[in-house]
Structure 1
Amino acid sequence: MLGENPYARYQETQVNTASLGQLLLMLYDAAIRLARDGSEALKAGRTEEAHRALLKAQDMVAELTSSLDLDAGSVALNLYRLYDYMSRRLIEANIKRDPQPAAEVVTLLSGLREAWAEVMHQGVAGPVAGGGLNVGGR
């Protein structure tokens, strides 16, 4: 139960009090961790563990995709395409039990996460537009 676990309460508070930019970083962090865990589990032959981690990583990528405002411009559309590619690579890793596609996703997500962290650090991230993150810079 959530009320009995202090760590779960802490996590819930972190999510509930985070800005949109911080939430996006949390999604990136979770997706990176899960894709890395899936890749490592595949390398070690722990296929059930890998399967669970890769499915959760796909969920995180789906959340990142749903955060996009596709009316914001070409950056959002390109991110959509990249997230779609990453999702397909995670599915491929899971089906073929191949750690390489998941490791590739870790690399891609890590680069995007660093870029978003830099945008936040510089204070460039704009307000929410149309219910999604303003990745178009408008």
Structure 2
Amino acid sequence: MAMNNPYKAYQENSVSTASPGELTIMLYNGVIKNVKLAKQAIQDSNISAKHTHLIKAQDIVRELMVTLNMDIEISKSLMAMYDYINRRLVEANTTNSADVLVEAEGYLVELRDTWKEVIKINRQKQFGQGGQV
């Protein structure tokens, strides 16, 4: 069967073969991308696009919340952070505030970069070498 969209097939394969940590990085990248697109839409006065991208960003943040293992202590802190980010995304959607999105994006980038570092350290411990995400 011929592939109609090789990029989509690559994406599906990337998701199905990714580790849980790599999936988390993908979620962070997706939410950051949508926040950036929403900021651009605000600058362009494209309210419909802003709304679409912020709804996608909120969906991803909620997915991050759902995947937390609340038996692990740090998950409680992450839940509070995700809840705050989600509320800020809702606020940005209702007020058209790019400044609020800058704040949310900063937190998301910091969380993503922390996850990348954790994965790198774990790979170094596991394989005795540096792995890149």
Instruction: Name the TM tier (shorter chain).
Output: 0.7 to 0.9
Give distance in 1, aligned partners of 2:85 and 2:43. Answer: 19
Length-normalised TM-score, structure 1 = 0.84
Give distance in 2, aligned partners of 1:44 and 1:60. Answer: 24
Please give the residue correspondences for 1:82-101 in structure 2 after superposition, counting only pairs within 5 Å: 82-101=81-100
**Structure 2: which amino acid aligns with 1:48?**
S
Offset at residue 4 of structure 1 (A): 1.8
C-alpha deviations, 1:76-121, integer Å up to 9, x for none?
A: 1010000000000000000111111122111000000000100000
- Counterpart of 2:34 in structure 1 is 34
Please give the residue correspondences for 1:103-122 in structure 2 after superposition, counting only pairs within 5 Å: 103-122=102-121
Give distance in 2, aligned partners of 1:122 and 1:77. Answer: 23
Length-normalised TM-score, structure 2 = 0.87
**Structure 2: which amino acid aligns with 1:85?**
Y
- Counterpart of 1:102 in structure 2 is 101
Offset at residue 67 of structure 1 (A): 1.2
- The SS at the match of 1:123 is helix
- Counterpart of 1:54 in structure 2 is 54
**Structure 2: which amino acid aligns with 1:103?**
V
Gaps of 5+ in 2: 124-133
Please give the residue correspondences for 1:126-137 in structure 2 after superposition, counting only pairs within 5 Å: none
**Structure 1: which amino acid aligns with 2:108?**
L
Offset at residue 70 of structure 1 (A): 1.0
Bigger mean CA deviation after superposition, 41-50 or 25-34: 41-50
- Equivalent pairs counted in the alignment come to 121
Bigger mean CA deviation after superposition, 6-15 or 40-49: 40-49
Which is bigger in relative contact order (C-alpha 8 A, separation at least 6)?
1
| Larger Rg belongs to | 2
Q: How well do the aligned residues superpose, as a CA RMSD in angstroms?
A: 1.1
